[in-house]
A and B are shown apart, each in its own frame.
Chain A
Amino acid sequence: MTLNTSRRGFLKGAAAAGAVLLVGARPDGALAAASSDTTQFNPFVKIDADGTVTAIVKHFEKGQGPATGLPTLIAEEIGLTMDQIEYEFAPSNPQVYNNLLFGPFQGTGGSTAMANSWMQYRQAGAAAREMLINAAAQSWGVDASGITIEEGIVTAGDKSAPIAEFVAAASQLEAPAEPRLKDPSEFRLIGNETVRRKDSAIKGNGQAMYAMDVHLPNQMVAMIKRPESKGGIANSFDDSASKEVKGYISAAVLPNQAGVAVYAENTWAAIQARDALEVDWDMAGSETRDSDQIKAEIMAALDAEATYNVNKADVAAVSAAIDGADTVVEKTFYFPLLAHAPMEPLNCTIEQTAEGDIVLHDGAQMPTGPHMAYQQIFQLPPEKIHIKTMLAGGSFGRRATPDADYQVEAALAFVVTDRSRPVKLVWTREDDIRSGYYRPAFGHRVRVGLDADGKIVGWQHQVAGQSVIKGTPFEAVAVHDGVDHSSVEGIADSPYDIPGMALGLTDTPKATTVLWWRSVGHTHTGYVMETMMDTVAEAAGRDPVEFRLSHLADTNNADQQRKAEVLKLAVEKAGWGNATAGRAQGIAVHKSFGSYAAQVVEVSGDPENGIKIEKVTCAVDCGIAVNPDVVRAQMEGGIGYGIGHVMRDQITLTQGAVDQYNFPDYEPLRIGDIAEIDVHIVPSAEAPTGVGEPGTPPSAPALANAIRALSGVKVTTLPMVENGVSFV
């Protein structure tokens, strides 16, 4: 395997091929271009002397599509076919490859990959196009305004040539400050149904390289023996039984004593040697609570006054209005801990070069996290640390730990060796399920008052759970006046016009390590808002669709109108109200990550003998759908992820130790669980917004509403199988 991770190495490789045109941005954001002789430039697009165009993709690919979407933006603006552009993942550089919505931090999350790259990558492509055209104008002695580039061919009147002809000349020009972007009416690739994923073939023939597939010469495989419950400290170990395992090398207590690293010649030897290792643990400071106790703490927090009055409501007045209402609906909800369980267990490989640089091979979701942590661990300046981003086998948030948990673990396992051999850290599925970071458990209590006309007069909503963001570097941007927005997103910023809303939040004590999980707070807030809308509509004697639309009625409010339109589209496409005999439908609509998604779930059967999920119809408004088929795929996946977990999954703790081990007791959604998914995209001229997460929030409440419509059973404690609903 070649190690071409550094900027210098990358450019050396580029320079060898002759003149190269590089277009990107300076750290201040201004467009800039360079030829191959510079060593101070990181591009978004690279055009080799032979005309090969490469998009430098700053977001990692976990299936959500940036390795197709970002090259599409550049190919669109230059005037290429999708076969004329390649991609490679950007090196770690938080000044140039930062997520524009994260500040000086490179990372993928919050469904922002396309939203923050949309203008940046189009501008880079447009600048390259203008430079190629200007070079052609000089060469041909014609006016630039008469030159076009289509399918990689530069044309002016009867003259034409491939872009390769002009790469050398273009590389000597200054980048235009404000290149002209294509008008949407000129788009040929953006929004085109025929553009296919660029990573399909390699993912179907075994050639795709994930971090798990890295095999460096002379590498050791390391596995970590961790305590049964979080917070245990490794004092010492006995590896006499491990020594019986052929391929076992050694073991070492990690410098932070969080575990013992076991080193072996191969993965199977590491698994066996770790199983055989005896560790003396100090469990005095470890977590000892049961999940029932954590649930009781959350419920107690719902009974008490909330710590934070999120929307600065007059709580006493809202409460009084509800007390005096004609009808009061009150529900209490509980959401358990959930694991992410990406298909590729966590892993990464670390090595030291002859020059003393550190190279990390990783399905790196947030390269800046390990990059910063490694400066401290290895006492190296940032330019001596390199991150090679590999394909990632899913994440759902798990690879984006603000404290770079598994990359730091790998570094600690490496730093205690003599560093002569690369170390590949591998987690097993059991490590993933038992030692992971989890969607925090949350509780909600909602009290809604209705007047005699079925109108809401007060909505008192209390939320309690463990904050995901507090204590992380993201606290400054996502926590305001003590409120972790991710705990109440989807309620606090709901487009619904709800009179008399009072929203309270209480942070509950740290129960385990928690983390954003596909759609973050919306995983529980969407469920509560949308099952409550149904329950309240029922109490008011109103149709659930009409009831929702009546709270999205402001024609001057674009947010409400987009949410209303997506709801109407789902209603139309699902044949709302016309379910097949013996079936029932449920609906939900939710805004998250800038996008709007509405879903109708149709079910048959009964809760006791088994509910069958017959069909999910989804409508989504995500602004311009850069790749409609990728958008549909993300909705299909987001629905499956949301429904799969509420059906039957939870993480529970006994004396602080996770009770589940592997897929047999954390059962993934299976192929037969959802019979059909039908996705429709609202045409839009708005800038693209998220698609990776917005499909998830409405899926579970739409299912819950369908089950209620079918059977009257209202599931307020998840997962459903533990609370009166089985599935077939």
Chain B
Amino acid sequence: MALTLKLNGETHTVDAEPGTPLLWVIRDELKLTGTKFGCGVASCGACTVHLNGEPVRSCQTYFEDVEDAEITTIEAVGDDKIGAAVQQAWVELDVVQCGYCQSGQIMSAVGLLSENSTPSIEEIDDYMHGNACRCATYQRIRAGIQRASEILEA
């Protein structure tokens, strides 16, 4: 089925089978590879994108259900001031190691800061629980979110 998706401010016509996860439309059809495949069962968060500003797991989101939504991926999240602040903080603190989960971490971090501009450590741990990092960069993810919060408050 052919559908029109609004992704990163652009309109794309996508032809895929019903039930195709948005993840694979983004990666294989639109060739935007910043959104990652980690588990396929919404257990790691590497595939996190925003639907109308809210983080969702794109591996468990059917593409035909998001026709009317504004989809944002890691490639465009920095166009927004919260996304830019998180990316800046991530570079300042060298949060990444292998980096494979970090697109998803950043998308979730932006989601958190969008609803809570000064999260506590407990709130960060709670919100970010579903984003796994096998390199265990968690301490820097916490610090990165708090640094982004500072950047935004300044």
Contacts and interface: CB of A to CB of B under 8 A. Distances in A.
Contacts of B66: none
A659 B8 CA distance: 41
Nearest to A668: B132
Contacts of A200: 90-91, 94-96
A693 to B, nearest CB: 13
A664 B140 contact: no
Contacts of A639: 136
Contacts of B149: none
A354 to B, nearest CB: 24
Interface string A59-85: 000111000000000000000000000
Interface string A398-425: 0000000000000000000000000000
A209 B34 CA distance: 8
Nearest to A392: B98
Nearest to A271: B40
B102 interface: yes
A210 B34 CA distance: 10
Contact of B75 (A64, A205, A394, A675): A205
Interface stretch (A295-303, A484-492, A603-611, A629-637): A629-637
B55 to A, nearest CB: 15
Given A203-B99, A213-B33, A663 B132 contact: yes
B3 interface: no
Interface residues of B, number: 58
B134 A641 contact: yes
Interface stretch (A338-346, A379-387, A524-532): A338-346
Nearest to A630: B94
Contacts of A286: none
B57 interface: no
A268 interface: yes
Interface string A188-211: 000000001101111111111110
Given A266-B24, A641-B136, A63 B99 contact: yes
Nearest to B104: A343
B56 interface: no
A250 interface: no
- What size tier do the contact residues of chain A reach? 35 or more
Which of B27, B96, B101, B135 counts the most A-chain CB atoms under 10 A from its CB?
B135
Contacts of B41: 429, 662-664
A267 interface: yes
B100 A671 contact: no
B96 A644 contact: no
B32 A344 contact: no
A699 to B, nearest CB: 10
A369 to B, nearest CB: 20
A564 B38 CA distance: 41
B101 to A, nearest CB: 5
A11 to B, nearest CB: 29
Contacts of A271: 40
Contact of A206 (B16, B96, B103, B138): B103
Nearest to B86: A204
A215 B33 contact: yes
Contacts of B103: 204, 206
B94 A393 contact: no
Given A200-B90, A204-B87, A268-B21, A636 B137 contact: yes
Nearest to A633: B97
B126 interface: yes
Interface in B75-130: 75, 78, 87, 90-91, 94-103, 106, 121, 124-126, 128-129
B34 A206 contact: yes
Interface string A626-655: 000110011011011100100000000000
A196 B91 contact: yes
Interface of A: 62-64, 196-197, 199-210, 212-213, 215, 221, 246-247, 266-268, 271, 341-345, 391-394, 396, 428-430, 629-630, 633-634, 636-637, 639-641, 644, 662-664, 668-677
Given A266-B29, A672-B129, 17 more contacts: A204-B90, A204-B99, A207-B75, A210-B33, A266-B28, A268-B20, A342-B134, A343-B100, A393-B99, A394-B100, A636-B136, A641-B134, A641-B135, A664-B43, A670-B129, A670-B132, A671-B138
12 contacts: A204-B96, A267-B27, A393-B99, A634-B97, A641-B134, A663-B132, A669-B136, A671-B125, A671-B128, A671-B131, A672-B125, A677-B139
